[in-house]
């Protein structure tokens, strides 16, 4: 927080003025009169990016007849009109020409003629311009250079007068004529149409689907208006950004599709950037004017006075587009002011933040500001730092409402994050969002946050359990007592290491949802549902070694979870016995004790134990099968069972070593291990992977029909899989062309299924 920055503070403002002056001096910033996007309500100019196109409800196309003049002061006969079509009839008051395509046979003989422009008493020429498409409308276009960007360009080409007929609030001005002066643009539109009708010059009105530009902020229809503003020339800026992405591939977009292409295409078609705004809030433009209107661009008033040789100057009242200062963010926040302070690579100076941190690694943002912000940071970074501002850009999805609609104030379908925090907690919200960060838009679901609230509660309770018996436990380390590790210890350490490695891999490529899933399932399924349950007896009995180990594993898990659930994990970590600054990354050994400064676990290859994972799978499978028997046969949990297991010597040894844990979790009184089963007919049966078999004697409890149905259900499932395997294995092409490993894998699986089917079939027959 010592580096908190705000673009309006002095240091950053200094950078803004520096950049403005330098770009002005190089001719990359200029002041000019152009057709701009004007919001008549906010009374400011807007950049193209702040204008949103929306379909108009009742668009109309008006066909207006302009009388063609025959001789001095008179028009031709009744039929001598040229008809133009327009969606904005009021702009005809500012027309200074009518244009037709030079090749259009209908109008060829009229080129060079003059029109008596109705309602104005003005006379305007008919000109020829390639821009006009003969097929569109009537093939004749009214030209209003001061109120339409395309018309303005035609006006430039033909040296037409640029007649401004509107005020800055979109009312008509005196140039529009006495009858229209002061009328709002839409009232003027109606009046123009009425007048044309009266004159018999309104040919027709057609319904017409039209999209209109709206002010992004206030939704008012934008008026294209001739206005003097400040612009950044984009030719060189665009080339800097295009060169970077085309030649060096920076920035890397995550996900690359579709953002890289959209970004590149936008750059290729870029027009100049309007940077002045008629607003109160912002960086005031560092330009001063003398009484004759001469411009002095300077870093400060004194510098302008010096240039002008007078202090009789007034500063430009306009401010800069907010994105102008934001465009400098990657270096202005690191101390760059252009004056040399804090800048890179200056010999003899101590290393500055700019030296250390620029270029940055990654920018995280939404796609709606790729053009507004990301592209401009790239441009100014290249221009003023000489290198890219960041390597990677993560574009995350947009949060939609529960119906998949974008949230908006007008629809009132937004959610208040503070309400969500209040209801489910900040950590749950954070993890729910991280778990949704796939780059794709996603619908907001309270239930999803709720599930992570439940997860947070799970972590809290698991920690509580570990701490209940941890009094006096101070010595914990994953490597302590290595020789005494039980199967479940080796298994959980292997799972922890694999999870750590996978989480790191996921984070390296910004797969946050993947990291969230890994951690959720490691903590809940592996650690809570299995490991804690397996170790419960040892821990509640006060086994110090077991407690030390479980605390060590918990401590690692909390570190892994910390970036996703910072408050909860810090709170719990502080409560763990034996935590100290000794666990910090060595660079922070002297800081106050906090989980924030511990190293992020990377996993330990030495702890990965495939054999332990295989053996543990067998134990889990055994317990699950017995639980299934219990559930399907409706055996009360208070009824203790006896479990008979037939397995090879190796598996017998595994089950024997975990006898106590199996009894506890399967709620059994004893386990009989042997090469083959010798049990009464009234037993429920199941098969395990690896040719093992179990039976649970249920004298007086078994329902033979139900057991038959249960076993047949399992047989059916196996049969479905077997059919598929047979299909593949009988395909000669598969056997010949698929990798040998894959073929062998299927053959092994087929053998496994056939063995299990054989056993299950015998079991069913034994029930008869």
Partner RNA sequence: GCCGACUUAGCUCAGUGGUAGAGCACUCGCUUCACACGCGAUAGGUCACAAGUUCAAGUCUUGUAGUCGGCACCA
Query: Which positions from 414 through 473 interact with RNA, judged by CB under 7 A?
Result: 436, 438, 440-443, 445, 447-448, 450-451, 453-454, 456-458, 461-462, 464-465, 468
**224 to each of 115, 270, 303, how far by Cα in Å?**
25, 19, 36
Q: Please report, as residue ranges, which positions from 484 to 523 form the binding site for RNA (by CB under 7 A).
A: 513-514, 517, 520
Residue 709 touching RNA (CB under 7 A): no
Residue 270: CB minimum distance to RNA, A:
9
Residue with the two structure tokens 């027309």: 95
**717 to each of 326, 523, 763, how far by Cα in Å?**
61, 31, 16
- In terms of CB distance, is 226 or 313 closer to RNA? 226
- Do β-strands 442-443 and 44-46 pair in parallel, antiparallel, or remain unpaired? unpaired
- In terms of CB distance, is 337 or 763 closer to RNA? 763
Structure tokens that stand for 615 in this block: 């053996």
| Rounded Cα distance, 588 and 592, in Å | 9
Distance separating the N- and C-terminal Cα atoms of the chain = 76
Q: What is the enclosing helix (H) or strand (E) of 645?
A: strand 641-646
| Rounded Cα distance, 260 and 251, in Å | 9
Torsion sign (Cα): 337, 338, 341, 345: positive
Instruction: Read off the DSSP letter of residue 272.
Output: P
- In terms of CB distance, is 339 or 731 closer to RNA? 731
Residue 359 touching RNA (CB under 7 A): no
Q: Which of 532, 616, 619, 764 binds RNA (CB under 7 A)?
A: 532
Residue 341: CB minimum distance to RNA, A:
37
- In terms of CB distance, is 492 or 583 closer to RNA? 492
- In terms of CB distance, is 40 or 435 closer to RNA? 435
Q: Please choose, out of 414-422, 575-583, 590-598, 620-628, the segment that lies near RNA by the rule CB under 7 A.
A: 620-628
**Is residue 711 within 8 Å of residue 694, measured between CB atoms?**
no
Residue 254: CB minimum distance to RNA, A:
12
Q: Please choose, out of 115-123, 335-343, 367-375, 691-699, the segment that lies near RNA by the rule CB under 7 A.
A: 367-375
- In terms of CB distance, is 40 or 338 closer to RNA? 40
Structure tokens that stand for 6 in this block: 């705000």
Q: Please report, as residue ranges, which positions from 87 to 126 form the binding site for RNA (by CB under 7 A).
A: 87-88
What phi, psi does 438 have (nearest 5°)?
Answer: -100, -5
Q: Please choose, out of 335-343, 557-565, 573-581, 729-737, the segment that lies near RNA by the rule CB under 7 A.
A: 729-737
| Rounded Cα distance, 219 and 40, in Å | 11
Residue 389 touching RNA (CB under 7 A): no
Q: Please report, as residue ranges, which positions from 258 to 317 form the binding site for RNA (by CB under 7 A).
A: 258, 261-262, 265-266, 269
| Rounded Cα distance, 562 and 570, in Å | 7
Residue 730 touching RNA (CB under 7 A): no
- In terms of CB distance, is 114 or 728 closer to RNA? 728
Residue 613 touching RNA (CB under 7 A): no
Q: Please choose, out of 131-139, 543-551, 562-570, 583-591, the segment that lies near RNA by the rule CB under 7 A.
A: 131-139
Structure tokens that stand for 245 in this block: 């992405």
Q: Please choose, out of 16-24, 154-162, 291-299, 734-742, the segment that lies near RNA by the rule CB under 7 A.
A: 734-742
Residue 753: CB minimum distance to RNA, A:
9
| Rounded Cα distance, 83 and 80, in Å | 10
Residue 369 touching RNA (CB under 7 A): no
Q: Please report, as residue ranges, which positions from 338 to 357 form the binding site for RNA (by CB under 7 A).
A: none
Q: Which of 257, 356, 418, 587 binds RNA (CB under 7 A)?
A: 257
Say which residues have a Cβ less than 8 Å from residue 640's Cβ, sequence separation at least 6.
667, 668, 669
Q: Please report, as residue ranges, which positions from 533 to 572 form the binding site for RNA (by CB under 7 A).
A: 533, 536, 540
Q: Please report, as residue ranges, which positions from 392 to 411 form the binding site for RNA (by CB under 7 A).
A: 400, 402, 404, 406
- Half-sphere exposure at residue 298, Cβ-oriented, CA atoms within 13 angstroms: 16
- In terms of CB distance, is 59 or 182 closer to RNA? 59
- In terms of CB distance, is 104 or 303 closer to RNA? 104
**Is residue 166 within 8 Å of residue 147, measured between CB atoms?**
yes
Number of residues that bind RNA (CB under 7 A): 93
- In terms of CB distance, is 278 or 517 closer to RNA? 517
Residue 179 touching RNA (CB under 7 A): no
- In terms of CB distance, is 83 or 594 closer to RNA? 83
Residue 365 touching RNA (CB under 7 A): no
Q: Which of 742, 744, 747, 758 binds RNA (CB under 7 A)?
A: 742
Residue 669: CB minimum distance to RNA, A:
14
**Is residue 263 within 8 Å of residue 255, measured between CB atoms?**
no
Residue with the two structure tokens 């992004």: 216
Instruction: Read off the DSSP letter of residue 439.
Output: S
| Rounded Cα distance, 239 and 28, in Å | 13
Q: Please choose, out of 139-147, 187-195, 332-340, 486-494, the segment that lies near RNA by the rule CB under 7 A.
A: 139-147
Say which residues have a Cβ less than 8 Å from residue 303's Cβ, sequence separation at least 6.
none
Residue 534: CB minimum distance to RNA, A:
10
Q: Which of 185, 367, 383, 562 binds RNA (CB under 7 A)?
A: 367
Q: Which of 529, 571, 604, 613 binds RNA (CB under 7 A)?
A: 529
Hey, what's the torsion of the CAs at 702, 704, 706, 709, to 10 degrees?
A: 140
| Rounded Cα distance, 80 and 483, in Å | 107
Q: Please report, as residue ranges, which positions from 54 to 73 form the binding site for RNA (by CB under 7 A).
A: 61
Residue 726 touching RNA (CB under 7 A): no
Q: Please report, as residue ranges, which positions from 150 to 169 form the binding site for RNA (by CB under 7 A).
A: 150
| Rounded Cα distance, 68 and 123, in Å | 10
Say which residues have a Cβ less than 8 Å from residue 568's Cβ, sequence separation at least 6.
425, 427, 456, 459, 460, 561
Residue 205 touching RNA (CB under 7 A): no
Q: Please choose, out of 120-128, 278-286, 299-307, 720-728, the segment that lies near RNA by the rule CB under 7 A.
A: 720-728
**503 to each of 345, 425, 454, 515, 552, how far by Cα in Å?**
36, 23, 21, 5, 19
Residue 45 touching RNA (CB under 7 A): no
Residue 713: CB minimum distance to RNA, A:
7
Residue 12: CB minimum distance to RNA, A:
27
What phi, psi does 250 have (nearest 5°)?
Answer: -100, 145
Q: Which of 76, 627, 663, 708 binds RNA (CB under 7 A)?
A: 627
Residue 744 touching RNA (CB under 7 A): no
Residue 19 touching RNA (CB under 7 A): no
Hey, what's the torsion of the CAs at 73, 79, 82, 86, to 10 degrees?
A: 110
Q: Please report, as residue ranges, which positions from 210 to 249 form the binding site for RNA (by CB under 7 A).
A: 210-213
Residue 551: CB minimum distance to RNA, A:
14
Q: Which of 713, 723, 747, 761 binds RNA (CB under 7 A)?
A: 713
Q: Please choose, out of 326-334, 352-360, 596-604, 631-639, the segment that lies near RNA by the rule CB under 7 A.
A: 631-639
- In terms of CB distance, is 162 or 458 closer to RNA? 458
Q: Exposed, middle or buried, 279 (CB in 10 Å: 0-12/13-18/19+)? A: middle
Residue 599 touching RNA (CB under 7 A): no
Within 10 angstroms of residue 574's Cβ, the number of other Cβ atoms is 11
- In terms of CB distance, is 313 or 753 closer to RNA? 753
**Residues comprising the chain, all counted:** 768
| Rounded Cα distance, 744 and 645, in Å | 28
Residue 361 touching RNA (CB under 7 A): no
Residue with the two structure tokens 């031709």: 76
| Rounded Cα distance, 124 and 116, in Å | 7
């Amino acid at each position: 927080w010592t580096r908190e920055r705000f673009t309006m503070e002095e240091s950053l403002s200094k950078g803004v003025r520096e950049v403005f002056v330098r770009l002005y001096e190089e001719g990359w910033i200029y002041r000019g009169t152009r057709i701009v996007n004007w919001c008549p309500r906010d009374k400011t100019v807007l950049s193209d990016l702040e204008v949103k196109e929306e379909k108009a409800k009742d668009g109309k196309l008006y066909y207006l007849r302009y009388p063609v003049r025959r001789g001095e002061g008179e028009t031709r006969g009744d039929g001598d009109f040229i008809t133009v079509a327009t969606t904005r009839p009021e702009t005809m008051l500012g027309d200074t020409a009518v244009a037709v395509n030079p090749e259009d046979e209908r109008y060829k003989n009229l080129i060079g003629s003059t029109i008596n422009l109705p309602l104005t008493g003005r006379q305007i020429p008919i000109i020829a311009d390639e821009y006009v498409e003969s097929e569109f409308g009537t093939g004749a276009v009214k030209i209003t250079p001061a109120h339409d960007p395309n018309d303005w360009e035609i006006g430039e080409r033909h040296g037409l007068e640029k007649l401004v007929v509107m005020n800055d609030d979109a009312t008509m001005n005196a140039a529009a004529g006495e009858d229209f002066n002061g009328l709002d643009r839409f009232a003027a539109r109606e009046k123009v149409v009425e007048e044309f009708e009266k004159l018999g010059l309104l040919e027709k009105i057609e319904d017409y689907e039209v999209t209109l530009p709206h002010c992004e902020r206030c939704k008012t229809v934008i008026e294209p208006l001739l206005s003097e503003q400040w612009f950044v020339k984009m030719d060189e800026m665009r080339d800097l950004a295009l060169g970077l992405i085309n030649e060096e591939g920076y920035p890397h977009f995550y996900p690359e599709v579709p953002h890289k292409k959209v970004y590149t295409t936008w750059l290729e078609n870029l027009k100049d950037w309007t940077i002045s705004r008629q607003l109160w809030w912002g960086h005031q433009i560092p330009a001063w004017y003398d009484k004759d209107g001469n411009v002095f661009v300077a870093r400060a008033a004194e510098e302008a006075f010096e240039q002008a040789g007078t202090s009789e100057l007034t500063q430009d009242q306009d401010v800069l587009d907010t994105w102008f200062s934001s465009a400098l963010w990657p270096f202005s926040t690191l101390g760059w002011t252009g004056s040399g302070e804090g800048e890179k690579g200056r010999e003899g100076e101590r290393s500055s933040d700019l030296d250390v941190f620029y270029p940055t690694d990654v920018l995280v943002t939404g796609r709606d500001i790729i053009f507004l912000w990301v592209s401009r940071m790239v441009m100014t970074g290249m221009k003023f730092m000489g290198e890219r501002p960041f390597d990677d850009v993560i574009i995350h999805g947009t949060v939609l409402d529960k119906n998949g609609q974008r949230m908006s104030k007008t629809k009132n379908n937004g959610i208040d994050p503070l309400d969500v925090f209040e209801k489910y907690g900040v950590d749950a919200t954070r993890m729910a969002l991280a778990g949704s960060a796939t780059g794709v838009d996603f619908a907001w679901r309270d239930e999803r946050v709720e599930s992570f609230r439940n997860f947070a509660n799970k972590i809290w309770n698991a920690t509580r359990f570990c701490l209940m018996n941890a009094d006096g436990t101070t010595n914990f380390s994953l490597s302590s007592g290595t020789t005494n590790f039980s199967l479940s210890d080796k298994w959980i350490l292997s799972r922890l290491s694999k999870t750590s490695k996978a989480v790191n891999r996921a984070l390296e490529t910004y797969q946050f949802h993947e990291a969230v899933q890994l951690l959720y399932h490691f903590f809940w399924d592996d650690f809570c549902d299995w490991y804690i349950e397996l170790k419960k007896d040892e821990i509640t009995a006060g086994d110090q070694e077991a407690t030390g180990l479980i605390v060590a594993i918990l401590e690692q898990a909390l570190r892994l979870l910390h970036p996703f659930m910072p408050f909860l994990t810090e709170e719990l970590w502080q409560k763990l016995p034996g935590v100290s600054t000794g666990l910090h990354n060595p660079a922070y050994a002297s800081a106050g004790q906090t989980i924030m400064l511990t190293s992020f676990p990377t996993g330990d290859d030495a702890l990965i134990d495939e054999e332990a994972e295989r053996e543990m799978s067998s134990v889990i499978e055994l317990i699950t099968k017995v639980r299934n028997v219990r559930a399907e046969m409706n055996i009360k949990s208070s009824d203790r069972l006896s479990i008979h297991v037939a397995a090879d010597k190796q598996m017998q040894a595994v089950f024997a070593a975990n006898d106590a844990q199996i009894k506890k979790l399967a709620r059994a009184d004893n386990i009989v291990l042997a090469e083959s089963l010798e049990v009464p007919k009234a037993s429920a049966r199941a098969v395990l992977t690896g040719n093992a078999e179990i039976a649970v004697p249920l004298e007086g409890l078994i329902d033979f029909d139900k057991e038959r149905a249960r076993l047949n259900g399992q047989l059916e499932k196996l049969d479905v899989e077997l059919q598929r395997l047979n299909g593949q294995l009988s395909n000669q092409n598969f056997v010949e062309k698929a990798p040998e490993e894959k073929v062998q894998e299927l053959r092994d699986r087929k053998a496994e299924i056939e063995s299990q089917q054989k056993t299950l079939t015998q079991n069913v027959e034994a029930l008869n």
